[in-house]
Amino acid sequence: MKPFLFRLACVVCLLLSGAAGLMLSLHREHDTTSTLLPATPNGVQTIQTFHYPESFSEQLKHNPHPGEAVFHQYCHSCHDVHPVIPIHAPTVADKAAWRALSKVGMAQLVAISAQGVAAMPARGGCFECTDKQLQQAIVYMMKRAGVDFSD
Ligand code: HEC
């Protein structure tokens, strides 16, 4: 009987040490993950956003207002009324600026947007946007500014 008990104790011991090892490794993994997370200032929550160009293009195809969607995804950072990136892009509240731009002609505006100008990146950052979608975003911004493109 004694050797049997001894063997049983050994098996139990092995099982317990295995479980302890597993718990320790899980604990370590958890620790590493939490130290890798960026430190946030007190009380400030960070929000991580993701952008998938392929699914954005797919969504645009079915969106009845593609210009508005492109604006909200890209152009708004610089062209909104209170832009997140204030680098003096004509805002959607600047009727005079968009009226003047409308005189430049749409083909030219699309070409400039595609190439980028001054601090504006090529295609306004929307590399998956077609020229037509850039144009729709421009027309949307003009409308927001109260400029009818036929002006
Ligand atoms: C990173 C900021 C930024 C983003 C994002 C951006 N723009 Fe601009 N945009 C600018 C700036 C700055 C100007 C003014 C450039 C200048 O000095 O003439 C400008 C000017 C323009 C103009 C007028 C061109 C001209 O001759 O002045 C058009 C049209 C335009 N942007 C379209 C777009 C569209 C469409 C998008 C989104 C797809 C977009 N922009 C996104 C910064 C931006």
| CA 47 to ligand 1 centroid distance, Å | 26
| CA 151 to ligand 1 centroid distance, Å | 20
Long-range contact set of residues 125-134: C-beta below 8 Å, sequence gap at least 24: 125/74, 125/77, 126/70, 126/73, 126/74, 126/75, 127/53, 128/53, 128/54, 128/56, 128/57, 129/60, 129/70, 129/74, 133/60, 133/66, 133/67, 133/70, 134/70, 134/110
| CA 89 to ligand 1 centroid distance, Å | 6
pLDDT greater than 80 at residue 121:
yes
| CA 53 to ligand 1 centroid distance, Å | 20
The per-residue pLDDT for 131 is 98
The per-residue pLDDT for 140 is 98
The per-residue pLDDT for 5 is 72
pLDDT greater than 50 at residue 76:
yes
pTM of the model: 0.76
Check pocket membership of 87 for ligand 1, CB cut-off 6 A.
yes
**What are residue 117's DSSP bridge partners?**
120
Closest-CA residue, ligand 1 atom 30, reads 113
Check pocket membership of 110 for ligand 1, CB cut-off 6 A.
no
pLDDT (tens digit, 9 = 90+) per residue, 87-115? 999 999 999 999 999 999 999 999 999 99
Check pocket membership of 20 for ligand 1, CB cut-off 6 A.
no
pLDDT band (50, 70, 90) for residue 16:
low
Q: State both tokens at 66.
A: 């593609």
pLDDT greater than 50 at residue 19:
yes
The per-residue pLDDT for 34 is 44
The per-residue pLDDT for 133 is 98
The per-residue pLDDT for 73 is 96
